[in-house]
Amino acid sequence: MVDAPRAPGSVLMTADTVGGVFSYAIELARALAARGIRTALATLGAPLSAPQREAAGRVPGLELFESAFRLEWMDDPWDDVARSGEWLLELEERLRPDVVHLSGYAHGALGFRAPRLVVAHSCVLSWWTAVLGEEAPPRFDRYRREVARGLAAASAVVAPTRAMLDALARHHGALPGAARALVIPNAADPERFLPRPKEAFILAVGRLWDQAKNVAALGEVAPHLPWPIRVAGSDVHPDGGARPLAALERLGVLSPPEIAAALARAAIYAHPARYEPFGLSVLEAALAGCALVLGDLPGLREIWGDAALYVDPADTAALRRALQALIDDPGARQAMASRARARALAFSPARMAQGYLRLYGELLARGPAASPSPALQAASPATEAP
């Protein structure tokens, strides 16, 4: 009889504060806490907002270590990446976690004592190809090298979709050993995103400055629809500059409870993305009972199947038609919303935590340089589409 993999007592996890990775980290830390596992969360990119700090304070036993080091995808980040690496090594030496869980690539090459996994939330090279239609220019050669080093040194590599794993292989080469890579989908707590009586408006949430979100397409179609399109999130890029949001109703930067309230009221959620490795905001919208209109991307189809309407991100006429069709047909709109919510419920925090716990146990059993076994990869949530 084979012993069950050992569960870790503590995890050192990193998260950037600029996008959805922080929400992912808080959700996972909360699910791990429910199983008696302590998380030390090291944040990078920018100081925490008041709502982020409040969310972290609600996770039992969470230790928060805050920094504002620049992230590897930002302009000229490498001095900060080196300093943040030294900081993380110091944290590991002080805290002695059982596992190091990294939400970036470059730090995967650091000499951590504990097994380390790298989670591929996104990638500059795949973003550039999907959004701008060309290969990233030579100024990203340093990024290419650092990502490749981090991936090669990691004990395991995780992505939230098979499409994201494929993008990593396409842009950074095959990972060393097929058993090193597995899919663990992201999650959201359904108790925080309950449907309410719907109102006649369309909602979009996220980094409005990010061309990948394709908010400009919503601005083009908004004047031709009978319902308003409301957008929530920052329009200011971390490196400066803001995107105009003509014809859209701006809600500004909302706290998590305010986002949940807006999603609960919205009848339709629009996300005509050009690039999306997973899309936590889409998951939250589905849980809140919104009908989904999404960019036609492999990762979004992988997650949502027939529970959404898909449009070519470059085809604003198709986007307008899809939104208008749902506006005109309340029955179809409700059916799509019900289908999306049923699918969303399969992406539970408990399921996500179980996937990571299985991986943590495998890594602890094999030591810092070990990889997850083929059996683990086959049993990962990649094979368990809802």
pLDDT value for 237: 61
Sequence letter at residue 41: L
Helix (H, G, I), strand (E, B) or coil at 229: strand
Cα–Cα distance measured from residue 41 to residue 15, given in angstroms and rounded to the nearest whole number = 7
pLDDT value for 256: 87
Residue with tokens 């900060």: 80
Cα–Cα distance measured from residue 353 to residue 31, given in angstroms and rounded to the nearest whole number = 6
Sequence letter at residue 33: A
Cα–Cα distance measured from residue 2 to residue 373, given in angstroms and rounded to the nearest whole number = 14
Domain positions in the chain = 10-187+348-383, 190-344
pLDDT value for 4: 55
Helix (H, G, I), strand (E, B) or coil at 79: helix
pLDDT value for 235: 73
Low-confidence ranges of the chain (pLDDT < 50): 1-2, 178-179, 370-386
**Contact in structure between 151 and 105 (CB atoms under 8 Å):** yes
pLDDT value for 384: 36
**What backbone phi and psi angles, to 5 degrees, belong to 35?**
-105, 15
Q: Closest by alpha carbon to 287, among 313, 259, 306, 309? A: 259
Beta strands in the chain (DSSP E): 10-16, 38-44, 63-66, 99-102, 116-119, 156-159, 181-183, 199-205, 229-232, 249-252, 266-271, 291-295, 309-311
Helix (H, G, I), strand (E, B) or coil at 356: helix
**Contact in structure between 304 and 296 (CB atoms under 8 Å):** no
pLDDT value for 244: 64
Helix (H, G, I), strand (E, B) or coil at 176: coil
Same fold, 10-187+348-383 and 190-344: yes
Q: Which tens digit of pLDDT belongs to each residue from 249-264?
A: 999 888 889 999 999 9
pLDDT value for 175: 72
H or E segment to which residue 374 belongs? helix 374-379
Kindly indicate whether the domain formed by 10-187+348-383 is annotated with CATH number 3.40.50.2000.
yes
pLDDT value for 372: 41
Helix (H, G, I), strand (E, B) or coil at 308: coil
Distances (CA, A) of 64 to 13, 14, 178, 199, 218: 10, 10, 34, 38, 37
pLDDT value for 368: 56
Residue with tokens 């449907």: 195
H or E segment to which residue 27 belongs? helix 21-33
**Contact in structure between 376 and 117 (CB atoms under 8 Å):** no
What's the 3-state SS for 92-127? HHHHCCCEEEECCCHHHHCCCCCCEEEECCCCHHHH
**pTM for the whole structure:** 0.89
User: DSSP string covering 131-142, please?
Assistant: HHSSPPPGGGHH
pLDDT value for 5: 63
Q: Which fold has domain 190-344?
A: Rossmann fold (3.40.50)
pLDDT value for 380: 37
Residue with tokens 């922080």: 22
